[in-house]
Structures are given as C-alpha cells and as structure tokens.
Amino acid sequence: MVVRETYSPAETFELGKHLGEQAKPGWIFTLVGDLGVGKTVFTQGLACGLGIDEPVNSPTFTILQEYHTGRLPFYHFDVYRIADIEEMEEIGYDDCFFGGGVCLVEWADLIEELIPENAFHVTIEKDMEKGFDYRKITIEGMDEL
Ligand code: ADP
Ligand code: MG
C-alpha cells in the first residue's frame, strides 16, 4: 500500500500524472472519495501522464468516456448510474478492462464482482484538521510509486 499526502490540487494532479507515466497496458484503477475531494483532479493528472491532450472531465452522464490520443488508450468509467451489471456487458467493458489500455473506475463498488484482482484501489480523503486543501491518497495494491 502506498500513502501520499497532498496539500494542493497541483500535488494531487502530479501524483496522478506520475502514475499515468508509469502505467502499463492492463492497469486498472478504482477511485473512491467524497464529492469534491479531488477525483477529477487526480484523473486529469493520470490522463496527462498518459499523454492525453483532450480535456478530461467527470463522465457523469455517460458511464464510459474513452481517450485515444495518449500513449495508451484510457477508459474512464463512472458507474454511479448503472442499474444492472448487464449494462457493463452492453458497454463492452471487458474490451476495456482486458484490452491493453488503462482503466479508471469511479464507484467501482457497484460493480465489485467485475473488478479484476490486480486492480489498484485509490482512495482520496480529506482531514479538515490538517487544512482545507489537505488530501490523503491511499493506493492499495501498489508497493511503491
Ligand atoms: P471530485 O471529482 O472528487 O468531485 P474535483 O476533482 O472535481 O472533485 O474537485 C476537487 C476540488 O478540491 C477542486 O476544486 C480542487 O481545487 C480542490 N482541492 C483542494 N485541495 C486539493 C488537493 N490537495 N487535491 C485535489 N483537489 C484539491
Ligand atoms: Mg469528479
């Protein structure tokens, strides 16, 4: 498990970027954290590290947003609005999870049974006692950055 503390959006972005630069085909991240904690900032950093030059935002109204302008394909899932696991089949999620790209899944606990064993689990948390811009970022499944 890797734990990093950040004190600004830029630092969270940099952490995501570093991971994007390291990412290998087949890497899957799950991403958990309250609204406004920095999930999109982290994801934008990851996309930047993959060399993606398009704007990256929360998918929200689409379950899957794909980016193909980077070093590897990037698949950004937000499964919050998924009603049934079969919707994932319809989207063709397995081509994303097992197709040589990099995936990031928000609200992954809703489709837990589909998440591969080797996924990295990223959690972002606030701690108001440590300041408004403090974030603790935990990456389970990773031993070092
Ligand atoms: P989410 O996608 O989790 O809802 P966003 O990434 O859209 O959250 O927004 C995070 C907000 O928190 C932004 O306004 C960002 O500027 C702010 N922020 C403050 N400190 C940090 C930090 N250390 N890391 C990430 N974002 C931070
Ligand atoms: Mg977001």
71-112 per-position pLDDT tens digit: 999 999 999 989 889 999 999 999 999 999 999 999 999 999
Backbone conformation region of residue 107, classed left if phi is above 0, alpha if psi is from -120 to 50, else beta: left
Looking at residue 42, its pLDDT comes to: 98
pTM of the entire predicted model: 0.96
The count of C-alpha atoms lying within 13 angstroms of the C-alpha of 36, restricted to the half-sphere facing its C-beta, is: 3
Query: What HEC string does 96-122 produce?
Result: HHCCCCEEEEECHHHHHHHCCCCCEEE
Looking at residue 127, its pLDDT comes to: 98
The count of C-alpha atoms lying within 13 angstroms of the C-alpha of 61, restricted to the half-sphere facing its C-beta, is: 0
The best mutation among 37, 78, 125 to test binding of ligand 1, ranked by most ligand atoms within 8 Å of the C-beta, falls on 37
Partners of 64 in the β-ladder: 77
pLDDT digits (tens, 9 = 90+) for 44-53: 999 999 999 9
Measured between alpha carbons, how far apart are the two ends of the chain, in Å?
A: 10
Domain boundaries, the chain: 2-140
DSSP-derived 3-state class of residue 80: helix
DSSP-derived 3-state class of residue 66: strand
Whether 35 lines ligand 1, by a CB cut-off of 6 Å, is yes
pLDDT confidence of 135, banded at 50, 70, 90? very high
Whether 14 lines ligand 1, by a CB cut-off of 6 Å, is no
Whether the CB-CB separation of 46 and 75 falls below 8 Å is answered with no
The distance between the two most distant Cα atoms of the chain, rounded to a whole number of Å, is 44
What class, spelled out in words, does domain 2-140 have in CATH?
alpha beta
Q: Which residue's C-alpha comes closest to atom 27 of ligand 1?
A: 9
Whether 125 lines ligand 1, by a CB cut-off of 6 Å, is no
> pLDDT at residue 62 above 90?
no
